[in-house]
Chains A and B, each alone.
Chain A
Amino acid sequence: MTVKIISCYVENFGKLHDYSVDFSDGLNIVCEENGWGKSTFAAFVRAMFYGLEGERKRNLLENERKRYKPWQGGVFGGKLTFEIQGKTYQISRVFYDKEANDEFELRDAQTNLLSKDYSKKIGEEIFQINRESFMRTIFIGQSDCKTSPTDDINAKIGNLADHANDLNHFEEADKKLKEILNSLTPERVTGSIAKRKEEIAGYERIVQDGEEIVESLDIYQDLLHKEEAKYETLKERLKETGEEQQKVSKLQSVLAKRSEWERLKKSVLRKKEEAQLLTGKFPGEIPPAEKVKEKISECGDMEKAFERLSMCQVPEAEKAELSALTSAFQKGIPAKEDLEEKIGEAGRLRKIVLEYSSEQMSPKERERLEELEFCFGEDTESVASVVGKWNARNTKKAALPSNQAALTALKASVAGKQPQNSLKRTVFPIIGAAIAIMGVLITIASFLTVGMAMIVAGALMIILPILLGKKKAEPEQNQVSPELERLERIIEEDMRFIAVADQEVGDYLQVHGKSFDEHTAFAALQEITEEAVEYSSLKKKARKAKEGVQAAEIETIRKSIDTFFLQYGIASSEPRYADDLYALRNKAARYAELTLKKEKLEKAQAQYNAMRANMDAFLREYGYEPADDCLLQLYHIRETMEERQYALEAFQDMKAELNRFEAETDIPALEQIQTEENLASLEELNQRMVRLTEEMEQVHHTIINYNKNLEDLQERYDEREECRIKLKELKALQTQEQKKYGLVCKARSKLGAAKEVMTAKYADPLLESFGKYYEMISGDPADPFHIDANAAVTVDELGRQRDTDALSTGYRDLVGICLRTALVDAMYQKERPLLIMDDPFTNLDDEKMRKGKTFLENIAQTYQIIYFTCSHSRS
């Protein structure tokens, strides 16, 4: 597999544009000035085989797509014609924004047909090394001479790619194992073993801490069992107490009966003693209850008698008064009837005396009687009759003018003249009004009758024409005549009567010494009337005085009264008769009153004394000394009697009850009962049961609490158990991973060792080749240099092998160039690839540069070399 580039055409690549170049076998020097684009062209050749590198790199230097994007624009790419195993191919690549869009084309250069002999990974396929290995071997870049073998290089060195092709997987395998180790490692916190170690430690702590939970569980279990046992004990004790209670209850029932029997017997005795004690309280025979009751009732009467006695008590003043009255009435007490009679006589006497005194006429009265006797002794007509006659005369006289006026008016109407009618209607009222006014004046002047008559007449004159005028318009002419006649007759009669009356009244007045005047006649008649009354009275008095019977009666009465007074030694006289008689009556009444009081007192005293004596006799009869308050004493007696009676009844009742009890009860059985001294009472047992129940409740409560605690602990225990299981799992996994870690470590180690063995097989040929080229360039022997199984070059320096980094830049480049060439020699022992050198000798001194040229000429005989330089001295 000898590979050589025949030509290149750069369409656009970096700053290169439309650049063509042909290459020949052996050394091809491209000597251009700085900035021409030598490195770009070298990158172009590399890109033609491997495509662009650093697709995702942001750095412009690392991202070739960006770095070599044509400055001037246009199609990004070019063509490269190469020869391999006698066949010529042309690679065409066009680059776009991303690799996926890149175009790759391979043509057979001889037929110009598309070839499928190689894919777009043509670099790997031709050189059997990846891009990185290409860069480390075939491509020797400027200031990048140092190299180290990659898997591909090692594989190529081992020449194994053809048949096993697994050495180039070493790095991948190592990387995988390393990743596994990293993921497992106990050394770093990111490793699962290290992580799990922490986790395990955490769970171990929990599990360890949980030890006390187990202990607590046991403790609480024990406590619980103790409490439960306690509860059972209490329950048993409660049961026993209940049984004891039942037993005691039964015994208590019998004991209660015996107690009841004892009580009854004691009660009978006690009641008997009480009755006897009460019987002993009586001094003698016990009075019958009825009698006591009777006596108590009598006490009530006696009390009343005593009250009466108290009420009848006579004051000392009254006693003195009675004594005085007794001496006053030594001769007897006037009878009430007598006194009343005498009082009546005294009254009558006073009346008669008064009457007698009033009926006696005085001389003046006698003179007057005589005077009036003269005037009225001859009267044939009473003054009243005369007055009546005069009044009638006045009435008629009063009516006369009006009648006359009416007559005149009537006469005028009879004449039948209209004007006259109207005149009559106007004149008559005027006249009527004048008459009425006159009547009023006359009435005021004390001629009442006349005045009134005139007023009436005047009024008629005013009204009549009006009435007549309305009603009798037409028939008036025919009716006037009878009316006229009637009026004329009335006027005539009235005038006649007036004349007769005047004559008779005048005569009468004259008899009584009065003159007649029409205007004073009425007053004169009045005076005569008064005189008539006086005359009548005087005449009557005179008639009584003439009778004279009363004096004798007066004397009789006086004598009777005087005699009465003398009976009682009282001196009295007219007009004190009545007063003295009343005084005597009062005294007599007072005496009677006081005497009665005295009698009542005496009677009440006698009654009371009799009652008291009776009571005292009763009390003494039964051995009691009467007390002042015998009622209280009797009450005491009765009370004692009742108490005794009650006691006796109670005694009898109790005895009956005892008898009944004894009849109903098996007394011998009661008598035989033996009580246990230590037997608790029902109350004690009840209290004990209450205590036990309370204790049981407490224990039950404790049990519940313990159970709750146990549940909590169990929950914690369960959590701890889960942790323990988890811990176990983790530990198992840890052990498993630790084992895996150890075995993977071993696998990696053994894999590395295998690789070293593999590469060590080619270390000597590599060193030989390296030495040859080193001596060719440097002129020095390559003895101090060593190459290990990993193709790493070391140099003996100051007694030990040192890395080539310790060398100067020039030597480092030199070592790198030699090693790369040696590696290519080792890698491609039969087929030779081309070598691309991008001015690798810049750091060499002139001597070495000169020898470098020789080196190039020598290797150019084996390889096609495309050598880029900017210096003619190095070209």
Chain B
Amino acid sequence: MSGPLLKDSYELAVVGAGPAGMAAATQAAELGIETVVFDEQAMPGGQIYRSMNETPLRDPAILGEAYWRGAALVEAFQRSAAQYVPQATVWTVSREGEIGVSVGGAVRLLRAKRVVLATGALERPFPIGGWTLPGVMTAGAAQILLKSAAMVGSGRVVLAGTGPLLWLLAAQYLRAGGALTAILETTPRGNLGRALAHLPGFLASGYLREGFALLGEVRRRANLVRSVIALRAGGGDRLTDVTYRTAGGLEVTLRADILLLHQGVVPNLNLAVAIGCKHVWNEVQLCFVPVLDAWGQSSVETVAIAGDGGGIAGAVAAEARGHLAALDAACRLGSIDAAARDRLAATHVGALREAQRGRRFLDRLFRPAKRFRLARGRTLVCRCEEVTARQVRDAAALERIGPNQLKAFLRCGMGPCQGRLCGLTVTEMLADAHGVSPDDIGYYRLRPPVKPITVGELASLPKSEADIAAVERS
């Protein structure tokens, strides 16, 4: 990996090169802010615009119009003066803006006056029986394989869950020539009624046309099962079948080679939590979101959060928030005054409002059912440490514990994923068991490294005399 060397300090560091990160970096660089962007992937785009420049998919119609909006964004980003560091994992950010990054197998510490976290979203956990079997993946995983490797599932592919991405992936798959054995929809029946109040906003947004077209396309070509209330993956060493039950009482077992699960996305907040940014529970979106002002400023002075990491609102909103975070950073760094910031922000504030308008309807329409957010029996809650739902319930029945005491008792959340696939499940199961809100329960306490680094890499970091003295005593 070539490119200019990393400096010891920057004015602005952006973590993540998805729409929010790219927009923030491009905007900041435009204003003359010395900016560096770190991203884990090999090329910009994040997940939503994955493999934008190099997708091996030759037919643009497969991925749909919205995808190609990213092309302009990537182009502007690559032309900008921001220093882009791909295949870099940021494993720590301190409150004072010290950043630990691992790139090319070596770790570096550097400083930034301000940090914009644009770490995006990840799939909500979907803890059903057998969800750890090889062959069970997320819809997002299938989309990544489609975009970046031009691959579709072979054999019998079942798609299950709820949410706009479910329909998008189904449509993309079918357009690409992939086959879908069944789409098992878990959207709760009552959702539409609850969502209707927000219909006007949705109708006025761009989502409607897109959404209906997709739905129509998919319905015509796939076997759609609605009102699924139970779901289980079966198999020994790998997935062989999927069993579902509908609200109408129908129970069916399908042979399956691949099961793609999706019930929405949630903020990827590990870095923000480890830094100490305050988060609160959002009862509509059923996840923790950071507490932010209108510019994305978090409760930690040096840190702003842009994009889905600040609350799920989609790619277009993410772009707008990226601009806003960069404008505010520029103002705080003294490059522009507040009046200039506000003036430059106006168009993005408008775009953000537009983009957010349709979300309220979608959030409620596709709000996942509790039965699929809580797990039961032998279903694994913590995939890394293989802790079952039963073990979690037993501990919760023993005493009124929180997620950190639970972690201590059962190792739940102690694996390398650091709770990304179990944190929300645990918080909701404990809230349910104790009869309190998830806000009262809280979340795992996280510490660096938020992604693993080696012992050798850790040992290579700078140490003060005091640090050494604290360890080499006697």
- To the question of whether A and B form a pair in one complex, the answer is no
